[in-house]
Amino acid sequence: MIDDQNDIFDSRIKLHDRHRFEIKLDIDLDAAARSSYEVETYFFVPRALNVGPHNYKKENFYNSSQRYIRFRTPKMSLGKVCDPALGTSPLNRIREDLGRVLSGAGDQPLTVKICNEFRLLGCIIRGEIRDYVKVFIDELATYGAAVPAAQRKLFVGEGLENFLGDLKRLDAALSSLKAELSDPAVPVKIRETAAFFDEYVSLILEEYLTSLVDALRNNPGARARFEDVEKGLLAIVTAQNRYRQVMKYPSVLVPGSSNEVIIYRRGVLKKFISSVLYLKAEFSEWEGLTQVFFGLAAGTAMLFAVMVTVLVQRRYAMNSMPFVLAVVISYIFKDRIKDWLKLLFSKSLTRWISDRKIDILDSAGGGGRIGLLKEAFTFLSDKSLPPDIARLRRIDNITSVDEEGKPERVFKYKKEIILYPEVIIKSHERRRDLNDIMRFNVRELIAQADDAAVDYPYVDAATGDVRVAACSRVYHLNLVLKYSYFDRDGQVTIHYERIRIVINKDGIVRLEEVKVA
């Protein structure tokens, strides 16, 4: 994973799976009435992959892309979640609203509110456990190295012990909440949501704490020092599968079986819990103005065909062979003219006109529009490539003739997002900042790639025998990303990234960062 920090937002680029990579932006909103930013992504595709305007259209690109806009998970430590004095804790709000339900105020909006608080609590618990475990695993990897013993003991030791203590307090708080939910007066929807939440938290504890136990065991010095912590974590981990079995949850691990249920169930639960953070997107496919220009292209082509027909008709009879040939030829040219003009408009107008607009709606805050997303895709010629982008593409060239040995086609994806922080802040106390996520699938780009391995004959210098070595055949898909952020005064902040994605016939091999400064 590649992380980058700047004053406006964090960007992270990572592999999602064998065929997809992910670009994620964490956006911190200010209190301005309007906030906007642009992301221009330039794809430099080797010509050997035979990808171009003739076989890779806008539809191909958008079908290969997934995009999500959601609220970022609110930051709240496990200790704060369990603190009865914290009014913004989802756990406290569930208890408070549950009391109102049990006292007879069981209306539908209150039920929905409690269910959303359960989802938000699940997101916060997952985020905190994931982040803490990642920090501890990273620190344990170097524990016992050059760090003085006193500092190691202070940072990792107290942190692990406090983390274990917070986990135990969380378990006690959730157990107490389960007792309150057992009352028959609690609506079925709340009980079912609580059961999903309970199963999800159990899986989260098992998954992340198992990784932490493994990291402790891989460091003999740390394991000896934190033996009690390891035992406490191990007790929590080993109890989870038994607990889900007792509760008759589907996500029970059965050694020796395919265990497809546990992975499927984990995905279902994650989507259910995370849905409280996702924003609704309403697509408006192909902007009207774009269609106007495409209509002009068709009209111009038709005008050409009609003019040719009128001119030929003056000289030849309608039933003559010259007239028929002229009409057929004009029809052929009419289609070529229409396609050429559409391509010209598509390339020229993406600077001002987007392919489609997407309204960003806040489903949890009343369904109002909180932003607008515009997207545009086009192929670029070498001459139309901006100088700053061309410079970054050449930045790792070794010689001046490198480009001649790696010819490429370039296409550009531009995304503009306009947000209304004022509207968001009015509706949300804890969910404000956003994640902008795009996943891109490379399957169509590698459809015509050669086999991933090739035999390479060579002579063994020691024996003189001819041997064959299996060599990997890869292609370099280069990306240049340009981030532009516009503040409330109209000032723009620009940031660049350069990424090399090594691919082969089977998918993505690895992802590399190229320094741009």
**What is the Cα–Cα distance from 468 to 41, expressed in whole angstroms?**
40
Given this model, what pLDDT does residue 366 score?
62
Return the pLDDT at 345.
54
Is the Cβ–Cβ distance between 187 and 99 less than 8 Å?
Answer: no
**Which amino acid, one-letter code, is at 141?**
A
What gap in Å lies between CA 260 and CA 262, rounded to an integer?
6
Tell me, what amino acid is at 165?
G
Contacts 24+ apart (CB under 8 A), 457-461: none
d(CA 360, CA 429): 19
Q: 341 vs 47, 289, 295, 299, 336, CA distance in Å?
A: 24, 15, 10, 10, 9
pLDDT (0 to 100) of residue 7: 47
Partnered with residue 339 across adjacent β-strands are none
Q: Could you please report the per-residue DSSP string of 55-115?
A: T--HHHHHHTEEEEEEEPPPP--HHHHT-TT-TT-HHHHHHHHHHHHHTT---HHHHHHHH
Instruction: Give the residue from 90, 89, 163 showing the smallest Cα distance to 128.
Output: 163
How many Å separate Cα 173 from the centre of its chain?
A: 33
pLDDT in tens, the chain (517 residues): 555 544 445 678 888 889 999 988 887 766 665 678 888 999 999 999 999 988 998 889 999 998 888 888 888 999 999 999 998 899 999 999 998 888 887 678 899 999 999 999 999 999 999 999 998 888 887 776 555 554 555 456 678 888 999 999 999 999 999 988 988 888 999 999 999 999 999 999 999 999 999 998 988 888 888 889 899 999 999 999 999 999 999 999 888 888 889 999 999 999 999 988 888 777 665 554 555 555 666 667 677 667 777 776 777 777 777 777 777 777 676 666 666 655 565 555 545 567 778 888 876 656 677 788 888 899 988 888 999 999 998 887 755 555 555 789 999 999 888 887 777 777 676 776 788 888 999 999 999 999 999 999 999 999 999 999 999 999 999 999 998 887 766 678 888 899 999 999 999 999 998 887 6
Strand order in the sheet with 20-27: 2-5, 9-15, 20-27, 434-441, 65-71
Contacts of 354 (CB under 8 A, 6+ apart): 287, 290, 374, 375, 376, 414, 416
The pTM for the full model equals 0.76
71: which strand partners? Answer: 434
Report the candidate in 430, 432, 424, 427 with the shortest Cα–Cα distance to residue 34: 424
**Which residues does residue 417 pair with via DSSP β-bridges, in sequence order?**
37, 373
Instruction: Give CA separation, 312 vs 253, 309, 321, 336, in Å.
Output: 79, 5, 11, 20
Q: What is the pLDDT of residue 148?
A: 56
Nearest CA to 405 out of 46, 43, 51, 52 is that of: 46
Yes or no: say if 419 and 370 are a contact pair by the CB < 8 Å rule: yes
Q: How far apart are CA 122 and CA 197, in angstroms?
A: 6
Q: Quick one: pLDDT at residue 174?
A: 94
277: helix, coil or strand? coil
